[in-house]
Structure 1
Amino acid sequence: MNFWETITGSDLTREYKAFIARAKALPTEYQTAWEEIQIHLFPYGDFTGRNLMPILDGALGLLEETASDGQSVHEALGDDIKGFCAAIAGEEGAKSFHDKWRTQLNKNVAKKLGRLGG
C-alpha cells in the first residue's frame, strides 16, 4: 500500500469489493448473515473503517469455512449476531465511535466550563 492509496482509501475500496465478491459465492442464508454482520460491526469502526477490515475478513472467512462444511448459519454464529459482532470487535460493552466522541465532547465542555467558572 502506497501513500496515495492510504490517503484516498482506494486500497479499502479494492479490499471491500473483494469481500463482496467472496460473499456473493456464499449460500443465501450466509449472504444475509454477512449483511447483518456488516451492519452490527459498523459502529465499532474508526473514521476510515480501516480497523474493521481484518475483522470483516475473519468473519467472512468463518462464514466461508462453515458453509463449505455444510453447517447452517445458526450453527456457525448462534442466535445473536449482534452479540457475535460485539465479541469479535472487542467485547460486549466495547465503546463505539459515538461513545468515544460523546466522552471527548463532555471532556471538552467540562474544560471550557471550568475555565469560565474559575
Structure 2
Amino acid sequence: MNLWETMTGSDLTRDWKAFEARADALPPAFRSAWGEITVHLLAYGSFTGRNLMPILDGVLGLLEETAADGQGIDDMLGDDIAGFCAALAGGEGARSYRDRWREQLNRTVAKKLSRLGG
C-alpha cells in the first residue's frame, strides 16, 4: 500500500470488492449473515474503517470454511449476530463511533461552558 492508496482509500475499495466477490460465492443463508455482520461491525469502525478489514477478512474466511464443511449458519453464529460482532470488535463494552463522538461532544461542551462561567 502506498501513500496515494492510503489517501484516496482505493485500497479499501479494492479490498471491499474482493470481499463482496467472495461473499457472492457463499450459499444464500451465509450471504445474508455476511450482510448482517457487516452492518453490525461498521459501528465499531474508525473513520475510514481500515481497522475492520482484518476482522472482516477473518469472518468471511470463517463463513467460507463453515459452508465448505456443510455446517449451518446457526452452528457458527448462534442466534445473536449483534453479540457475535460485539465480541469480535473487542467485547461487549467496545466503543462504537457514536460513543467516541458523544465523548468528544461532551468534552467540547464542558470546555466551552467552563470558559463562559469563569
What TM-score does the superposition give when structure 2 sets the normalisation length? 0.98
CA RMSD of aligned residues (A): 0.6
Indicate the residue corresponding to 1:5 in structure 2: 5
- Provide the residue aligned with 2:115 in structure 1: 115
CA-CA distance at 1:60 after TM superposition? 0.4
Paired residue secondary structure (2:109): helix
Question: Which letter does structure 2 place at the counterpart of 1:12?
Answer: L
Work out the percentage of aligned pairs sharing the same amino acid: 70
User: Displacement of 1:93 after TM fit?
Assistant: 2.5
Q: Quote the residue 1:98 is aligned against.
A: 98
Give unpaired runs (5+ residues) of structure 1: none
Structure 2 unmatched runs, 5+: none
- Residue by residue over 1:59-83, the C-alpha shift from the partner in whole angstroms, topping out at 9 and shown as x without a partner, is 1011001111111000011110010
2:15 matched to which residue of 1? 15
Q: Residue 61 of structure 2 aligns with which residue?
A: 61
The residue aligned with 2:46 is 46
Q: Which runs of 4+ in 1 moved over 4 A?
A: none
How many residue pairs match? The answer is: 118
The C-alpha deviation readout for 1:13-43, integer Å capped at 9, x for no partner, is 0000000010011111000000000010011
Report the TM-score when normalising by structure 1: 0.98
2:113 and 2:38 map into 1 onto residues whose CA distance is 39
Distance (whole Å) between structure 2 residues aligned to residue 47 and residue 90 of structure 1? 17
Distance (whole Å) between structure 1 residues aligned to residue 32 and residue 91 of structure 2: 23
